[in-house]
Amino acid sequence: MASGHPLLEHRGTRAVERMVEFAPATGGLALWARHHDLHPSDTAAAPVSTDGNTLFYNAAFAAIDLPLQAGLIAHAVLHVVLRHPQRCLGLQALLGDVDLRLFNTCADAIVNSTLAHLTWLRLPPGAVMLERLLADALGIHQTAEAALLEWDVERLYRAVDDRGSPRPSARRGRRAGGRAAAGSAAAARAPADRPDDRDGMRADGPRAARTRALASGTALDLIPDAGTRELPEDAAAQAREWGERLLRAHAGDGAHSMLRTLVADLPRTRIPWEQVLRTQLARSLSPRPALSWSRPSRSYIANQGRGAGGRRMPWEPGANGTRPVPRLALMVDVSGSIDDGLMDRFAREIGSITRRLEADMLLVIGDDRVRRVEHFAPGRADLREIDLTGGGGTDFTPLLEEADRYRPDIGVVLTDLEGPARFKPRWPVIWAVPEACAAATPSFGRKLPMA
């Protein structure tokens, strides 16, 4: 960062220079983020806030002393590096409702305890520490080092969020059949200082109340933006890049690193489920030319049936020019709860795979029995136009038996895995399940959690 250049200067310039001076590698992570000065009329409560990509400075930040400025920026930079705003949106997509105040407090606690060992910066008064949060809200007593090695923000949030069920009015807007609509952007960004401030109107339990009270003197500094939600492939790439930067920086700074220890909250690199599904189906659906014993292979003809020294070679069959059309069997459990957004992504992915691999698709819809069977030519399937309503219990046996009649190359079952499967086909089976059901274990085949 070149001081004096108008395009490179912002309210945090001096503090970033201080970070780079004392911790060149981990402090230099601030140079990977964008910085933006808010207009003096902006009423942002936090001196520094972030959406996961940019650090926003309010007008009051300029009047803060330099060590505290460095502490606030280091705090916000770790939010960016650990991808806390994006992970808040990811958790909201999974759970349907995330209290931003509670999530922000959990993220703050991890970041503050990570930075608390540094003497060249200062954290604001009342900063929530991870060890204090664990003791007050959960009754768990751990040192900061032990806690940082064990707790990530998602696990910590789930532990402190003991709010009650939404009131009946808050359940409006959910689709019939148990499909919960994802939270809106406004809900994700609305400060939830009190349980009744939120759209969900869920009353705090004792753990959530103690967490909220502990953070009563701190301002929200996470501003997740649901309008810029990342694609799964992009999210995985960003997590990998930030994780690698953080590991290299921590190793470079050694004892001067901004990290007290390598925290359990490091960004996780997850292979998007779309990529896994694509790879698995491509392996099974790629055309395999059949052998033809009525004519020799090209190499046999080129060598005139003889090898080195004129010895006769064994017969080598050629390939049949006509190739069988690969077939995918897709079974949809209509008794399960599949989020609309997840269903749209799954439908688009299946459509593109069958079109690209020129594969036929057999669609079997059912719950405890087969409700509907459809055949689709390559690239002709659009699951978004198909009625997937159903009811009753779940039994995968009749669905698998129906699909087996058509001898597919591979089968995919879209389900929540709540039901028996007493028939095991000879062809491979992928169980595509929402991430909320990822703990369930199928009796055979491969489980693919989708998020």
The string of pLDDT tens digits covering residues 295-307 is 777 777 777 777 7
User: Backbone phi, then psi, for 412, in 5-degree steps?
Assistant: -125, 130
Nearest to 408 by CA among 441, 444, 361: 361
Question: What is the predicted pLDDT for the residue at 294?
Answer: 67
Looking at 96-166, list the stretches that DSSP marks H as alpha helix, in order from N- to C-terminal side: 100-115, 130-133, 144-148, 153-160
**55 in the same domain as 134:** yes
Question: What is the predicted pLDDT for the residue at 201?
Answer: 67
d(CA 128, CA 111) in angstroms, rounded, equals 9
d(CA 327, CA 287) in angstroms, rounded, equals 10
Residue 294 lies in a domain: yes
Question: What is the predicted pLDDT for the residue at 415?
Answer: 87
Question: What is the predicted pLDDT for the residue at 266?
Answer: 81
Give the structural domain span for 355.
327-450
**332 in the same domain as 219:** no
**339 in the same domain as 298:** no
Domain count, the chain: 3
Q: In the structure encoding, which two tokens stand for residue 152, read together? A: 């990530």
Q: Which residues of the chain have pLDDT under 70?
A: 1-8, 167-201, 227-233, 268-274, 287-294, 318-324, 336-342, 379, 381-382, 384, 386-392, 451
Residue 27 lies in a domain: yes
Question: What is the predicted pLDDT for the residue at 127?
Answer: 95
Question: What is the predicted pLDDT for the residue at 227?
Answer: 67
Signed CA dihedral, 245, 248, 253, 258: sign only:
positive
Question: What is the predicted pLDDT for the residue at 264?
Answer: 84
d(CA 12, CA 62) in angstroms, rounded, equals 8
**260 in the same domain as 140:** yes
Question: What is the predicted pLDDT for the residue at 338?
Answer: 63
**216 in the same domain as 71:** yes
**337 in the same domain as 319:** no
**226 in the same domain as 365:** no
Classified as helix, coil or strand, 72 is helix
**420 in the same domain as 343:** yes
d(CA 185, CA 373) in angstroms, rounded, equals 38
